[in-house]
Amino acid sequence: MGIRESKQKLALKLRVMPANYVAGMSGFFGQDVSASIPVQSYKAKVTPAMADKWERNLKNAFGL
């Protein structure tokens, strides 16, 4: 699997990662944690632009 395919796979996962995080943490704590500061920080950090950043950092790390 090349960089382009990996980036596409990551981009697909990034769409559902915040919702999965909220569901997992809510299940773990047994209550709705969607308004908590850590969840809001995670949602702000995990965006579709993260795939571009990942690709750029990977290429820089390996000199591609």
Q: Are 22 and 34 in contact (CB under 8 A)?
A: yes
DSSP code, position 32? -
Asked whether the predicted pLDDT for residue 23 surpasses 90, the reply is yes
CA distance 34 to 39: 6
Average pLDDT of 2-11? 89
Average pLDDT of 9-22? 92
Confidence of residue 45 (pLDDT cuts 50, 70, 90): very high
Domain boundaries, the chain: 3-62
Share of the chain above pLDDT 70, in %: 100
Indicate yes or no: pTM above 0.85: no
